[in-house]
Amino acid sequence: MPVYAPDSVTFPSAAPHGFLIDMDGVIYRGSELIPGADRFIGDLLDLDLPFLFLTNNSQRNRRDVVTKLHRLGIEVSESHIFTCAMATARFLAAQKPGGTAYVIGEGGLLHALHENGYSIVDHDPDYVVVGEGRTVNYEMVEAAIRMVMDGAKLIATNLDPHCPTQHGLRPGCGAIVAMLETATGRQAFSVGKPSAVMMRAARKEIGLDASRTSMIGDTMATDILGAVQLGYRAILVLSGGTRREDLTAYAYRPDMVVDSIADLSAADLAGIATAGNAAATVSTRPRGS
């Protein structure tokens, strides 16, 4: 039976399935581990199933993210982390190798751009690149506006309107980008979830085709939308910002809806027969409808 795949890649026959996993709201809330998340990730490691953590947070580099996960009891490596900053930097390096960027953002974005051969400048850049920033001021915004009006291309690492913190919400990359778009009349190109640029790049990182890839996330407008658009299995967890009753507002549906990642079995999702589970199967019919 033919399956939909956005492009053709070679995948390892030893890996029946792979996973792209959001973090905030799926693995942890703020600085607290969501119960069962460490068990699920441990099972992925024990079963040698490929997976990546996907985040639309461009502030931290991979080492910082790994340190946070280690402190929560999840022992993964930097190779398991894929950020929107990484996706953005790789995209720009492919579009214009050795280019220049004026950046509104923090260390994770700056590091990713440098790693991909980009120079950070404060005048006449090829691109104005916007990520999350706790130190954004109007002087930076005014400079970005002038550069875009002078011909620099406007790039967003993501369009999330806000970022959760332990004290509530603060403006996210999308809010900053919206201000620049309104002032310049130019639309930003966004690379982060649900963009196919990031979602497809992450899937290629784990080396599987679309039919063997699941996205586990807590947000309909990013994680689930991206998965639906690219033909991945879309698994929504209700431990983050989405409630079951919210699903009626969307024209698309996840393949599975569970209360939290603790309700998922890595072996079942990958179709692996384990001891006491001789015929593991998974229903891909939408739940909660």
Residue ranges of domains in the chain = 18-56+194-270, 86-190
Q: What pLDDT, on the 0 to 100 scale, is given for residue 31?
A: 87
Q: Is this structure's pTM higher than 0.95?
A: no
Summarised one tens digit per residue, pLDDT across range 136-165 is 899 999 999 999 999 999 999 999 998 766
DSSP string, 126-141: SEEEE---SS--HHHH
C-alpha 211/C-alpha 198 separation (Å) is: 17
Q: Which residues of the chain have pLDDT under 50?
A: 1-13, 275-289
Residue 56 burial by Cβ neighbours in a 10 Å radius (0-12, 13-18, 19+): buried
User: Topology of domain 18-56+194-270, per CATH?
Assistant: Rossmann fold (3.40.50)
Per the CB < 8 A criterion, the answer to whether 33 and 230 are in contact is no
Q: What pLDDT, on the 0 to 100 scale, is given for residue 126?
A: 98
What Rg, from alpha-carbon coordinates, does the chain have?
19
Mean pLDDT for the chain? 89
Query: Can you read off the two tokens belonging to residue 255?
Result: 């393949």
Catalytic annotation, residues: 22, 24
With residues binned 3-state (H G I as helix, E B as strand, rest as coil), the percentages for the chain, rounded to 5, are: 35, 20, 45
Q: What pLDDT, on the 0 to 100 scale, is given for residue 274?
A: 53
User: Topology of domain 86-190, per CATH?
Assistant: Rossmann fold (3.40.50)
Q: Quote the DSSP letter at residue 123.
A: S
Same topology, domains 18-56+194-270 and 86-190? Answer is yes
